[in-house]
Amino acid sequence: MYVTRKELIKTRAKLLKEMNGYILKMGNVDIWFTWAIVGIPEFATETDYKMLVSDDAEWVDICGLFGRLVADTK
């Protein structure tokens, strides 16, 4: 199955919003602060999400950051 770039961006944006929600629900201020500074701005707009997920290197970095932040809570 072939996924168009537009579909890929849309799916990444959905996933990133879900990752952001997960971080917020964790309730850990230190993790949230790191996420807000390095990952997703606190009041991210649709434009912010689109920009972050459109850049392949940025997407990989954000996914890695999410994984490290979540793993640190174990």
| Residue ranges of domains in the chain | 5-71
Supply the pLDDT for residue 26. 93
Per-residue pLDDT tens digits for 7-28: 999 999 999 999 999 999 999 9
* Residue closest to 35 by CA, chosen among 47, 22, 50: 22
CA angle 47–2–13, rounded 5-degree value: 20
Supply the pLDDT for residue 36. 94
Average pLDDT on 36-64 reads: 93
Q: How confident is the model at residue 42 (pLDDT cuts 50, 70, 90)?
A: confident
Q: What ranges in the chain are assigned the alpha helix state H?
A: 5-26, 29-34, 46-54, 56-71
61 CB neighbour count, 10 Å cutoff: 14
- Residue found under tokens 């952001």: 20
